[in-house]
Amino acid sequence: MIGEPIRKIVIVGGGTAGWMGAAALSKVMGPFPGLEIELVESEAIGTVGVGEATIPQISLFNSMLGLDENEFVRETHATYKLGIEFVDWTRLGHSYVHPFGFYGVDMMGIEFHHHWLKGRSIGDTSELDEYSIAVVGGKTGKMAWPARDNPRSPLSKLSYAFQFDAGRYARFLRGRAERQGVRRTEGRITAVERDGASGFVTAVMLESGTKVEGELFIDCSGFRALLIGQELGVPFTDWSEWLPCDRAVAIPCTLAGDREPLTRSTARPAGWQWRIPLQHRIGNGHVYCSEYMSEDEATAMLLANLEGEPLAEPNQLRFKAGYRARAWEKNVVALGLAGGFLEPLESTAIHLVQAAIARLLALFPTRAFGAKEIARFNEETERDYIDIRDFLVLHYNATERDDSEFWNYCRTLAPPEGLAEKLAMFRSSGRIFREHNELFTETSWLSVLVGQGIEPGGYHPAADLLPDAETLKRLAHIREVVAQTAEQMPTQDEFLAANRSAI
Ligand code: FAD
């Protein structure tokens, strides 16, 4: 190994990103003698205070930390989540679900949806949603464990995530991290010291005069991007052209209606509104584009569409879609909002933090800070952002909506290259390819392509090897089994109580 081992890591910021980083690094690197981890945060500055919806990969992160799932659900007041429901995105009055897990069953070695597409071409009128246990169960408020050991059950196709209180999650992780030896220092950072020759950050200075020195700095300072942006000047790549929403207003409200295991996204005239049911409240927010809607209008629209009573004052947030051109520069690695922002339409921000932590652990530097490792980290991080961006743009671009200037802009924009290729392939033959191990699977792309009304011009020819009558019979059978299984699933509330994870 070239270079001496790192002896001191300083994490700047104690939001979700900071404490996720602290918990993971202290778990994996903590047992090594001679490595110190210190996290600096300022209660006066506070955290962004939003971020409640996740995707199934979070379970990998939690199990890497050794968290007990029921305890995690209780501590973070979480509910289980089977997918995301998109209302009014394709056209007013329309809805579809992006489910976690898979549709139907594999038949004849090709993906299920080719049989469904063939069925449609010979008169079947069923919706793709009817073949997903996550959608049929989720829409009726049901939840169950995946049945991985029973491939004949639709539950074997299920996958789940959580909707939780991100502030509670950060506090929960803080407890773990501190027990694993992380030192927390309270205070506002007012200056940064750097080595004259290398430009490496050597210390952060607090208002109190305390100096916190380190060799590797993890910038988790949120939108301020204190080290990566303000100090090192790494440019921000702006994607507003494709994702023009630049504001959000968030407000929790009392519980009302169902706590279905679905995050709901309802399209509005200049953006969209989220509804995230937790155990103790509903998280709500309105993401919008300031060019087409004022803050007052956006707030009034959100308040008018709450199901329960507001529990706090509206939290106004400003952002830009995009990412830091280099998430790792010199001896600074950016995690979370300091590294970039993509709106929470597909609940990906916390995932980007966990992916970056895993990447940092795999490419962990010595004090020599190898250029190859840094370049690899930056390339992979950029890839993640681009892949997710393309998936988000699909929701806006593939719409029939022409009822506002905002939707006219989104519908007529030129999609990024990767998305344009995916659209062309699906339109020509119904085929979807998951590129370079990207985050979203073929099922995810399928759900949104079909949900947003993209018509495929064909399907895999192998589907025609099955006689038409047999195709229709099998499709009907799958729908029936999915519906019957969903009926027997417990409700979200029954499920929480049965697993002793209710608060
Ligand atoms: P913050 O929470 O902003 O934390 C920054 C930390 O840095 C704080 O501790 C602060 O005190 C500290 N700090 C800053 N400056 C200084 C200083 N000078 N001195 C000392 N300390 C300092 N993600 C999801 O996965 N799902 C969602 O549903 C979701 N919804 C979102 C909705 C909106 C509108 C937004 C804006 C984000 C959403 N996110 C979501 C993203 C999610 O909130 C963040 O990715 C996540 O909370 C991580 O934030 P962070 O820790 O990077 O930053």
Q: What is the pLDDT of residues 222-272, one digit of tens each?
A: 999 999 999 999 999 999 999 999 999 999 999 977 788 999 999 999 999
The tokens for 133 are 């246990």
The ligand 1 site (C-beta within 6 Å) comprises 13-18, 40-42, 45-48, 50-54, 166, 188-189, 220-222, 224, 226, 248, 250, 285, 317, 319, 336-338, 344, 347, 349-350
Q: What is the ipTM of this complex?
A: 0.98
CATH for the stretch 247-318: 3.30.70
Global pTM value: 0.96
Q: With residue 469 as reference, give the H or E element that holds it.
A: helix 468-488
* 346 annotated as ligand-binding: yes
| Ligand 1 midpoint to CA 336 (Å) | 7
**pLDDT(1) > 70:** no
**pLDDT(501) > 90:** no
Across the beta sheet with 201-206, what order do the strands follow? 189-194, 201-206, 211-213
Select which of 81, 118, 139, 330 is catalytic: 81
Q: Can you give the pLDDT at residue 227? A: 98
d(CA 298, CA 282): 18
**pLDDT (tens digit per residue) in 48-95:** 988 799 999 999 999 999 999 999 999 999 999 999 999 999 999 999
Nearest to 126 by CA among 478, 486, 481: 478
Closest ligand 1 atom to Cα of 55 = 25
Q: Can you give the pLDDT at residue 435? A: 82
The residue type at 48: V
The tokens for 213 are 């020195």
The tokens for 351 are 């995932």
Q: What is the rounded average pLDDT of the residues 295-324?
A: 97
Q: Can you give the pLDDT at residue 57? A: 95
d(CA 426, CA 417): 14
| Ligand 1 midpoint to CA 314 (Å) | 17
* 127 annotated as ligand-binding: no
% pLDDT > 90, the chain = 92
Which residue is associated with the tokens 């509903």?
282
**pLDDT(46) > 90:** yes
The tokens for 165 are 């209180």
Q: Can you give the pLDDT at residue 266? A: 98
Q: What is the rounded average pLDDT of the residues 282-305?
A: 98
The tokens for 500 are 């002793």
Q: Where are the domains of the chain?
A: 8-77+164-240+321-387, 101-157+404-492, 247-318
Half-sphere exposure in the Cβ direction for 101 (13 Å, CA)? 31
Closest ligand 1 atom to Cα of 220 = 52
Contact 159, 101 (CB under 8 A): yes
Q: Can you give the pLDDT at residue 149? A: 87
**pLDDT (tens digit per residue) in 353-408:** 999 999 999 999 999 999 999 999 999 999 999 999 999 999 999 999 999 999 99
Q: Can you give the pLDDT at residue 105? A: 87
Mean of all residue pLDDT scores within the chain: 95
Q: Measuring from atom 14 of ligand 1, which residue has the nearest CA?
A: 221
**pLDDT(447) > 70:** yes
Q: Can you give the pLDDT at residue 108? A: 84
| Ligand 1 midpoint to CA 220 (Å) | 8
d(CA 482, CA 500): 27
* 210 annotated as ligand-binding: no
Which residue is associated with the tokens 């989540």?
81
Q: What is the rounded average pLDDT of the residues 462-476?
A: 97
Q: Can you give the pLDDT at residue 137? A: 96
The tokens for 14 are 């104690």
d(CA 119, CA 464): 10
Domain 8-77+164-240+321-387 superfamily per CATH: FAD/NAD(P)-binding domain (3.50.50.60)
Nearest to 217 by CA among 10, 469, 433: 10
**pLDDT (tens digit per residue) in 252-264:** 999 977 788 999 9
Q: What letters, b where the CB count within 10 A reaches 16 and e where it falls short, cover 232-269?
A: bebebeebeebbbbbbbbbbbbeeeeebbbbbbbbbbb
Q: For a substitution probing ligand 1, which of 39, 45, 172 has the most ligand atoms within 8 Å of its CB?
A: 45
**pLDDT(5) > 70:** yes
Q: Spell out where 269-387 has E strands.
A: 271-277, 282-288, 315-318, 322-324, 328-329, 332-334, 340-341
Q: Can you give the pLDDT at residue 32? A: 77
**pLDDT(24) > 80:** yes
| Ligand 1 midpoint to CA 420 (Å) | 32
Q: For a substitution probing ligand 1, which of 315, 318, 337 has the most ligand atoms within 8 Å of its CB?
A: 337
Annotated catalytic residue 81: yes
